[in-house]
Structure 1
Amino acid sequence: MSDLRDVAMSSKAWPFEEARRVLKRYEKGPPEKGHVLFETGYGPSGLPHIGTFGEVLRTTMIRRAFEVISDIPTRLICFSDDMDGMRKVPGNVPNREVLQDHLQKPLTSVPDPFGTHDSFGAHNNAMLRRFLDTFGFEYEFYSATEFYKAGQFDEVLLRAVERYDDIMKVMLKSLREERRQTYSIFLPIHPETGRVLYVPMKHVDPKEGTVTFDDEAGREWTLPVTGGNVKLQWKPDFGARWAALGVDFEMYGKDHSTNTPIYDSICRILGQRPPEHFTYELFLDDQGQKISKSSGNGISIDEWLTYAATESLSYFMYLKPKTAKRMHFDVIPKAVDEYHQQLRAYATQDAAARLANPVYHIHEGNVPESTMVVSFAMLLNLASVSGAEEKEKLWGFIRRYAPEASPEANPDLDQAAGFAIRYYNDFVKPTRAFRLPDDKEKAAMEELLVCLGDGDRALDVIARKNAEAGRDEPLPKVDWQDEEFLQSIVFAIGRTHGFEPLRDWFKALYEVCLGASQGPRFGGFIALYGIAETKALIRDALDGKLAG
C-alpha cells in the first residue's frame, strides 16, 4: 500500500490531484470531526438524471483516490434540498391537478401525485436513493426537511441571525436593485398555509433567535429560525450547509461557478472553512446546446443503458471533466470501444500508468479483464451487413472468427452484441445511405474482389505496392483468418490505385458497401464477416443492389 501511495502522490490523474488538495487541508493534523466529508447536492423537483450520476460518480472517484493517499476515514453525503418550495407543477407527472393547490409549499409537504409516498419530495428522494443504489454507490442520504426540523441546522441558523447583516452584505452585492428591496436570506414557512414565503424581514432578533415579517395578506408574524420554521435562500443555504456539516469537498457545474465566492464567504461568516470545490463543464447535446432536464435534450441514463453497459457511461464521465462534451447517442460506440481498449491496456501497465488509466477509477482498483474480442463498432457493422435481428446471428460470425469465444466465456461481448443490434436498428439503419462508386473506386473494388481468396493475386498486389514505394520487404504469409494480412491487401490496393490521402479509399468502401462515411478497420471486418460474404457484399455494391 505504501508503494501505491507514493505513486498516487505524484499521479496526474485528476481524481488524485483533487484528493491531494483535500488532504492538504489537514497537513497540520486530522480533522476534529474524525473524518473527511464529501458531499453532493440534489434538487428533488424532478427525477434523477445523468448529471446526478456524473456528480456522484466523480465525487466517489475522488473519495476513493483520497483513501489511497490517506488513512483518514471518509464519508459521502447526498443532500436533498427537499424543503424547497414547489414553484411550478411539473409537466411529466400524473394527477397534476392534485399539485396545483400546493404551489410554494416545501416539496415534502406536497402530496405525491404518484400515490406511493407521503409526499412528492419523499417520492423523488426514494427515486434518487434507488437510482444511487442501482449503481452501487456508497453514501449517506440527508433530507433538508429532516435536517431543519430535527434541529441539526439550529446552531448555524442562530449564528446566521447573529451575523445577519454581514451575510446580507454579501448577498446584496450580487442582486439587482429591485431585488434588494425585498430580499432576505431567511424564507419563513407560513404557520397557516405551509407555504415558503419570499418576503422581507421587518426585524431580526439575534437575542431571541427570531424573525418578524408580514405575510402576503399584511399580517405580522414572529417565528423562531430553529426547528424547521424557517429555511435559507438557496445561495446562503449552500454556505450554511457546508458550515453545519463541516464539508471538505463538493463539486458542481460551471453554472454555479460565479456563486462560489458567495458560498465561501457565507461559510466563513458562519465560522467554518469552505470546502475544496471542483467545477465541471456542462454537457452539450448534438447541437452544442446545454443539456437541460426541462427541455429533455441530450441523452438520459436510461437511454444510454439501453445501448451500452454502465461502465461505458462511467468512462465517458471520467474523461476531461473540465471540458464541455457533446453527450448524444453517437458518442456511445466510441465510449464502449475506448473503455475496453483501456481494460486491455491496464494488464500490461506499470503502477503509474494504471493509476492514470480511467478503468482504475471506474472499478476502484479492482479492474476486470475485457472479453471483447470484437469491437462494438465492428458488431454494429456486422449487424448492418448481416441484417441481424437477434444476437445469435452475430454469434455465428463471432464463433468463426474466434472459435474459443462463447456467451459464457465472453459475457461483455454477448451483452454488447445485444446492444449493437438495438443501436443499429434505432440509429444506424434509419440513416444509412449507400452510393455507387466512381470509376476509380470501382476499379479498385473489382481488384479487391479478385484478390480475396486468391493468395497469389493478393501477394502480387502487395509486392506491387512495395515496389512503387521503393521498399524491399518480405511478403506476408497468406492467412485468410488474419486481419493484418487482409488489411495489408486492402491497403495495398488503395495505394496502387492512387488514392491520396489513403483514407479516401477506406471512406469509399464504407460509403459504397456499408452505407456510412465511417467504419471499422476493413481487414478486421473481412476476417469477421468472412471472405465469401465480403465478396458477395462488394459484388452487390458494384451491381447497384445496395444503392438502388
Structure 2
Amino acid sequence: MSEQYRIPSSPLPKAWPFEEAAKLAAHVGDRAVSVERPVLLETGYGPSGLPHIGTFGEVARTSWVRQAFGAITGKPTRLLAFSDDMDALRKVPDNVPNQDMLRQYIGRPLSRVPDPFGTHESFAAHNNARLQAFLDSFGFDYEFASSTAYYEGGRFDAALKRVLEVHDEIVAVIAPTLGAERRATYSPVLPIHPRTGQVMQVRMDAIDPVAGTVRWTDEDGETFETPVTGGHAKMQWKADWAMRWYALGVDYEMSGKDLIDSVRLSGKICRILGGRAPAGLTYELFLDENGQKISKSKGNGISVEEWLRYAPPESLGQYMFNAPQRAKRLFFDVIPKATDEYLANVTRALAAQKADDPALWANPAWFIHAGHIPDNAGSPITFGMLLNLASVANAETPDVLWKFIQRYDADATPTRDPMLARLVDHAIVYYADFVRPTKQYRAPEGKERAALSDLAEALRGMDAATATPDDFQNLVFEIGKRHGFEPLRSWFGCLYEVLLGQKEGPRFGIFIALYGAGETVALIEAALTRSMSQATQS
C-alpha cells in the first residue's frame, strides 16, 4: 500500500478489518517480508458454477483485511484468488447448456471437461474467465491462480512428495471423521485414471515417497502406478487445502462457519506437513427471507446481478462490511437500508478525509473506496427518499424524479451528482418491482383526519419558496403535538400509512421540500377524499 495510507498501529481504528490485520501481523511476526516474498492472503473458488455473492463477499472482505494490514505495517502483500479447477465434476449444473454432453464427463477434473458454452477450452476455463471478469468489474486487486496449472506445472511437486512421506499420519487425522465404508479406502491422494480421466477415490496398495508414486487398483481389478506429481493426481479437498497452505506459505484465509471443522482438520494436516495454518476469520452465513441458510442449489437468496439491478456496487460492499461474524438476511428488502447506510458513511468519511480526522480509517467507505473517497461518491438525497418520491409520483422514468430533485436543488445534474443519477435509475426499477406491488393505504381515523387537515392548511399558508426542510419538519412536529399524538411517532406512522401506503418513511420535512408543499397538500386532500368515499360506500 502506498506510503500516504500508512496509519499508526496503536491504537488501532475500531473496525473489524484492523482486528484481523493485527491477527495477521502477529501471525507473520518477525519473518522477513519482501516484494519477492510478500505476505500472502488467499481466497478460494470452486469453478463448478458461476461466481456468486459469497465469492464477492470473501474477496471483498479479504481485500479489506489486506488494506488494513498494509496501512498499519507497510509490508507488501499479495491476494491470490485460487480456483480449485482440478476438482471433479460431481453433477451437471441446472443452468448450463449441453447437459447430456456434460454427463459423459462426470468424475473428471473440471479443467478436463469440455466447455458446454463452446467458448473456452474447458468448463473450468469458462468459469474461471467469468470469475476474473466478475472480480475485475469491482476493481479488486488480486492475482488469479489455477489449481490445474499449479499441479501440472510442478508448483506442488515437493509438497505432494511430502504428503507421501506423512501419508499415514494424514489418514489418521481424517479417518475418524468418515463413515466406515469410506474410512476403509480413504487416502488423501486421488490419482487420475490414465485411461478414463476420472478422479479416483481408491485405496492405496503402496506408497513410495522416494519415487513419488502410488500404486492402486481400479474397479476392474487393473493395477496402476501413478506419480503424484505433474498433474497425474490431486489431493482430497481437506488435504488439498492443507497442502496448498504448506506449499505456498499462505498467511491468511477466511472461511464460512460451515467449514469450521474442515479448517481445524486442514490445519492439523498442514502442521503434519511441516507448515503452519494461516490466520483467518470465520464468517457467518447468509440467511434468506425466512431465516434459512442461503443455498445455491435451492436458489433461495439473491445474486450479485440481482443486487446490482437495484442498487450500486458500493451498497453491496457496505452490506458485506457490516458484522461479518453475525448471520444476516440476504434478501431484496435489505438493499435500501444498505444503500443509505453507505451514503451516510460517505458523508462522514468525506468530512473526515478533508479534516485529516483519524475517524476516517474506521469508516466502511474508506475500505469500500480502497483508501480514498472521491468527492462525488455520495448523494445529496437518500435512496429511501428517492423511493418515496417514486412512490407518490408513480414514477416510471428518471425524468419524473429529476423534476422534483431540480426544484429542490436547481444545480443538481447527473454530471455533477453521478451517484445520485445512478440511484435515480435504481429507484425507478426497485419501486416498480417491490414498492408499487405492496402499497396498502389506510384511511385516517379520528383525530388523524383533523391533524391532516391542519397540516394541509398550514402548508397552504407557508411561503414554500423560502421554507427549509427544517421549517417543514418543525411544522409537522408542531401539528402532531397540537393534536395530542402520544407517542409522537404515531403521528408519523399516520403520515406514512395514509399518504405513502407504507409502514415506514422518510424524514417528512425533507420529503415535503422535495415533493413540494403544494403537491403534499394535494396528496393529503386526495387521501381525505378517498377515505370519505370509502366511508360512504361502507
Q: Same fold (TM over 0.5)?
A: yes
Counterpart selection for 2:419 from 412, 415, 439:
412
Counterpart selection for 1:375 from 369, 382, 404:
382
Deviation (angstroms), 1:479: 7.1
Please give the alpha-carbon distance, in whole angstroms, between the structure 2 residues aligned to 1:36 and 1:198.
Answer: 35
User: 1:65-144 maps to which residues of 2 (within 5 A)?
Assistant: 65-144=68-147
Please give the alpha-carbon distance, in whole angstroms, between the structure 2 residues aligned to 1:59 and 1:546.
Answer: 58
Deviation (angstroms), 1:54: 0.8
Deviation (angstroms), 1:150: 1.0
> TM-score scaled to structure 1, two decimals?
0.93
TM-superposition CA deviations, 1:109-167 (whole Å, max 9, x none): 11111000111111111111111111111111111111111111110110000100111
Partner of 1:515: 501
Please give the alpha-carbon distance, in whole angstroms, between the structure 1 residues aligned to 2:204 and 2:64.
Answer: 43
Contact 2:379–2:420 (CA under 8 A) maintained in structure 1:
yes
Partner of 2:510: 524
Partner of 1:436: 443
Partner of 1:356: 362
Deviation (angstroms), 1:27: 3.0
SS of structure 1 residue aligned to 2:266:
helix
Partner of 2:21: 19
User: 1:289-300 maps to which residues of 2 (within 5 A)?
Assistant: 289-300=292-303
Question: Structure 1 residues 545 and 496, CA, compared in 2 at 3 Å: closer, same or farther?
Answer: closer
Q: Does 1:543 align with 2:510?
A: no
Please give the alpha-carbon distance, in whole angstroms, between the structure 2 residues aligned to 1:543 and 1:2.
Answer: 62
Partner of 1:483: 469
SS of structure 2 residue aligned to 1:45:
coil
Deviation (angstroms), 1:4: 4.7
After superposing the two structures, state which structure 1 stretch, 43-52 or 251-260, moved more: 251-260
> TM-score scaled to structure 2, two decimals?
0.95
Q: Does 1:185 align with 2:191?
A: no
Contact 1:433–1:547 (CA under 8 A) maintained in structure 2:
no
Counterpart selection for 1:233 from 229, 233, 236:
236
Deviation (angstroms), 1:270: 1.1
Partner of 2:272: 269
SS of structure 1 residue aligned to 2:253:
strand
State the AA in 1 paired with 2:25: L
Counterpart selection for 1:155 from 151, 155, 158:
158
User: 1:13-52 maps to which residues of 2 (within 5 A)?
Assistant: 13-31=15-33, 34-52=37-55
Deviation (angstroms), 1:271: 1.3
Runs ≥4 residues deviating over 4 A = 1-4, 477-480, 545-548
After superposing the two structures, state which structure 1 stretch, 54-63 or 64-73, moved more: 64-73
Partner of 1:244: 247
Q: Does 1:453 align with 2:455?
A: no
After superposing the two structures, state which structure 1 stretch, 110-119 or 364-373, moved more: 364-373
Contact 1:166–1:269 (CA under 8 A) maintained in structure 2:
yes
After superposing the two structures, state which structure 1 stretch, 83-92 or 12-21, moved more: 12-21
RMSD of the TM alignment (CA)? Answer: 1.8
TM-superposition CA deviations, 1:495-541 (whole Å, max 9, x none): 22222221111111111111111111111111110011001111111
Please give the alpha-carbon distance, in whole angstroms, between the structure 1 residues aligned to 2:232 and 2:447.
Answer: 79
State the AA in 1 paired with 2:48: S
After superposing the two structures, state which structure 1 stretch, 165-174 or 64-73, moved more: 64-73
Question: Structure 1 residues 366 and 23, CA, compared in 2 at 3 Å: closer, same or farther?
Answer: same
Partner of 1:471: none
Counterpart selection for 2:309 from 306, 328, 335:
306
TM-superposition CA deviations, 1:323-347 (whole Å, max 9, x none): 1111111111111111111111123
Please give the alpha-carbon distance, in whole angstroms, between the structure 2 residues aligned to 1:199 and 1:345.
Answer: 59
Deviation (angstroms), 1:206: 2.0
Q: Does 1:505 align with 2:481?
A: no
Please give the alpha-carbon distance, in whole angstroms, between the structure 2 residues aligned to 1:384 and 1:8.
Answer: 48
Deviation (angstroms), 1:19: 1.2
Instruction: Among all aligned residue pairs of Structure 1 and Structure 2, give the percentage whose two residues are the same amino acid.
Output: 52
Please give the alpha-carbon distance, in whole angstroms, between the structure 1 residues aligned to 2:11 and 2:99.
Answer: 53
SS of structure 1 residue aligned to 2:410:
coil
Counterpart selection for 1:391 from 395, 398, 410:
398
Contact 2:33–2:76 (CA under 8 A) maintained in structure 1:
no
Partner of 2:7: 5
SS of structure 2 residue aligned to 1:373:
coil
Partner of 1:331: 334
Q: Does 1:64 align with 2:70?
A: no
Counterpart selection for 1:533 from 519, 522, 534:
519
Contact 2:151–2:157 (CA under 8 A) maintained in structure 1:
yes
Q: Which 5+ residue runs of structure 1 have no aligned equivalent?
A: 456-476
Please give the alpha-carbon distance, in whole angstroms, between the structure 1 residues aligned to 2:382 and 2:224.
Answer: 67
Partner of 1:460: none
Query: In the comparison of the two structures, how many residue pairs are matched?
Result: 527
Please give the alpha-carbon distance, in whole angstroms, between the structure 2 residues aligned to 1:218 and 1:175.
Answer: 25
SS of structure 1 residue aligned to 2:108:
coil
Partner of 1:426: 433
Deviation (angstroms), 1:86: 0.6
Contact 2:185–2:203 (CA under 8 A) maintained in structure 1:
yes
Please give the alpha-carbon distance, in whole angstroms, between the structure 1 residues aligned to 2:243 and 2:90.
Answer: 22
Deviation (angstroms), 1:213: 1.3
State the AA in 2 paired with 1:494: G
Please give the alpha-carbon distance, in whole angstroms, between the structure 2 residues aligned to 1:199 and 1:343.
Answer: 56
Q: Does 1:496 align with 2:518?
A: no
Contact 1:435–1:547 (CA under 8 A) maintained in structure 2:
no
Please give the alpha-carbon distance, in whole angstroms, between the structure 1 residues aligned to 2:5 and 2:263.
Answer: 37
Please give the alpha-carbon distance, in whole angstroms, between the structure 2 residues aligned to 1:547 and 1:514.
Answer: 18
User: 1:169-180 maps to which residues of 2 (within 5 A)?
Assistant: 169-180=172-183
Deviation (angstroms), 1:101: 0.8
TM-superposition CA deviations, 1:371-424 (whole Å, max 9, x none): 511111111111111111111111111111112211211111111111101100
SS of structure 2 residue aligned to 1:78:
strand
Question: Structure 1 residues 31 and 171, CA, compared in 2 at 3 Å: closer, same or farther?
Answer: farther
Contact 2:5–2:371 (CA under 8 A) maintained in structure 1:
no
Deviation (angstroms), 1:200: 1.4
Contact 1:432–1:516 (CA under 8 A) maintained in structure 2:
yes
Deviation (angstroms), 1:227: 1.0
Question: Structure 1 residues 228 and 9, CA, compared in 2 at 3 Å: closer, same or farther?
Answer: farther
Contact 2:345–2:363 (CA under 8 A) maintained in structure 1:
yes
Deviation (angstroms), 1:28: 2.4
Please give the alpha-carbon distance, in whole angstroms, between the structure 2 residues aligned to 1:89 and 1:162.
Answer: 36
Counterpart selection for 1:346 from 349, 354, 362:
349
Contact 1:453–1:480 (CA under 8 A) maintained in structure 2:
no
Question: Structure 1 residues 527 and 320, CA, compared in 2 at 3 Å: closer, same or farther?
Answer: same
Deviation (angstroms), 1:348: 3.0
Partner of 1:287: 290
Please give the alpha-carbon distance, in whole angstroms, between the structure 2 residues aligned to 1:192 and 1:546.
Answer: 82
Please give the alpha-carbon distance, in whole angstroms, between the structure 2 residues aligned to 1:3 and 1:294.
Answer: 42
State the AA in 2 paired with 1:191: P
SS of structure 1 residue aligned to 2:7:
helix
TM-superposition CA deviations, 1:337-371 (whole Å, max 9, x none): 11111111123335331111001111121112345
Q: Does 1:199 align with 2:202?
A: yes
SS of structure 1 residue aligned to 2:342:
helix
Deviation (angstroms), 1:208: 2.1
SS of structure 1 residue aligned to 2:82:
strand
